[in-house]
C-alpha cells in the first residue's frame, strides 16, 4: 500500500504538489525540486505534456523519483491515447511500481506547440477511472481476463467554480461512481465556494484536495480571472495584493494568502493540492505558515 493510499484510508490530511517534467532528458531540475518537497508533501503530481506542450513522459520520471524515495501521482490524459493505449500504459506503469494516477481529458493540441497533432479523446475521465478499476478486477475493457492484476490509487480533477454547476456536479458524480479515491480541484480562493460544492456532491470517503495556486503578483491574479475558466480571485484578495509594494513584497503577500487559504480549506476538506507554477521553492513556507507543515498531521474533518 502506498503512503498516499494509507493516508486516505486513515482519514489524515493529504498534501500534494505539482511538478512539470521537462522538454528533454535533463531531469536535474525536477529531481532537485522533488527532493526539496519530499519532506513536506505526501505525493507529487507529474503533469503529462501540460497545456499540450510536449514533454518527457511522466511515468518514466515517476519511476526515477520512486527510486529516490519520492511518491508521485502520474497525470494521464485521453488527449493522446485511445483506450488500448491507456490500458497498456497503466499496466506498464504497474510493473514499474507506479500506482497513483489522476485522469483528465487534457488540453487540446491546438493550444500547444504541436497544433497539427490529431487529438484522440477516446475516453472521458470517468471512463478512464472505470477502465483502471476493471484492470484491478482482472479484466480489460473488453472483458478479457488479465494474466496478473495491477493495483492502483486513482483520482480525477474537478472544478468547483465551473459556470455550469449542475453539469460539473453530475460529472463529479460519474467520477465518484467510477471509483475515484481522490479529487483534486481547480484553484480555490474562496473556501465558501468549495464548501457549497462539497455539500452538493457529498463525496463520502473520496478525498477532496483543494487546489492552491499561490499568487505571485497582482498581474497574475487579474490574468487568472480573465483567462482561466473556473477561477475567481475575489476583489478583496486583489486589493490585498495591491497593498504590497514591489515584486518581492507581492510574492510574500501571495505566500501569506496561500497559507491562509490552506488553513481555511483544510477545515472543510481532506487536504490541498499546491500548484506553484514555477514557485515551488515557496511551497514549504506556505505549508509552514499555514501550520500544516507536514502532510498527515490532522484528522479528516466531517464533511457537510
CATH at 175: 3.20.20.220
Lowest mean pLDDT, pick from 22-31, 125-134, 276-285, 291-300 = 291-300
Q: Is residue 224 part of a domain?
A: no
Segment 74-108, tens digit of pLDDT: 999 999 999 999 999 999 999 999 999 999 999 99
Q: Is residue 255 part of a domain?
A: no
Helix 83-95 with 125-136: angle, nearest 10 deg: 50
Which range of residues forms the domain containing residue 192? 3-214+260-282
Confidence category of residue 1, pLDDT binned at 50, 70, 90: low
Q: Is residue 289 part of a domain?
A: no
Radius of gyration of the chain (CA): 19
DSSP for residue 179? T
Q: Is residue 290 part of a domain?
A: no
Q: Is residue 57 part of a domain?
A: yes
How many domains does the structure of the chain reveal? 1
Segment 28-51, tens digit of pLDDT: 999 999 999 998 999 999 999 999
Q: What is the pLDDT of residue 3?
A: 86
Amino acid at each position: 500500500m502506498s503512503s498516499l493510499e494509507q493516508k486516505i484510508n486513515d482519514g489524515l490530511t493529504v498534501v500534494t504538489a505539482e511538478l512539470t517534467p521537462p522538454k528533454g532528458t535533463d531531469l536535474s531540475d525536477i529531481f532537485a525540486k522533488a527532493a526539496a518537497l519530499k519532506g513536506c508533501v505526501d505525493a507529487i503530481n507529474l503533469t503529462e505534456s501540460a497545456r499540450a506542450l510536449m514533454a518527457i513522459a511522466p511515468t518514466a520520471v515517476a519511476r526515477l523519483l520512486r527510486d529516490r524515495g519520492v511518491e508521485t501521482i502520474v497525470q494521464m490524459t485521453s488527449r493522446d491515447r485511445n483506450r488500448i493505449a491507456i490500458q497498456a500504459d497503466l499496466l506498464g506503469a504497474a510493473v514499474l511500481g507506479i500506482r497513483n494516477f489522476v485522469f483528465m481529458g487534457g488540453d487540446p493540441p491546438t493550444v500547444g506547440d504541436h497544433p497539427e497533432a490529431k487529438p484522440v479523446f477516446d475516453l472521458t475521465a470517468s471512463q478512464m477511472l472505470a477502465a483502471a478499476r476493471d484492470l484491478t478486477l482482472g479484466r480489460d475493457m473488453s472483458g478479457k481476463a488479465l494474466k496478473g492484476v495491477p493495483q492502483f490509487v486513482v483520482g480525477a480533477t474537478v472544478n468547483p467554480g465551473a459556470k455550469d454547476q449542475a453539469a460539473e456536479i453530475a460529472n463529479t458524480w460519474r467520477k465518484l461512481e467510477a471509483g475515484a479515491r481522490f479529487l483534486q480541484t481547480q484553484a480555490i480562493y474562496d473556501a465558501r465556494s468549495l464548501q457549497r460544492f462539497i455539500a452538493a456532491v457529498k463525496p463520502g470517503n473520496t478525498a477532496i484536495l483543494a487546489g492552491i495556486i499561490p499568487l505571485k503578483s497582482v498581474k497574475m491574479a487579474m490574468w487568472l480571472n480573465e483567462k482561466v475558466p473556473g477561477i475567481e480571485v475575489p476583489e478583496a484578495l486583489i486589493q490585498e495584493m495591491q497593498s504590497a509594494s514591489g515584486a518581492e513584497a507581492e510574492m510574500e503577500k501571495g505566500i501569506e494568502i496561500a497559507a491562509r487559504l490552506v488553513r481555511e480549506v483544510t477545515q472543510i476538506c481532506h487536504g490541498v493540492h499546491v500548484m506553484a507554477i514555477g514557485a515551488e521553492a515557496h511551497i514549504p513556507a506556505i505549508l509552514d505558515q499555514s501550520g500544516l507543515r507536514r502532510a498527515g498531521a490532522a484528522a479528516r474533518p466531517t464533511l457537510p
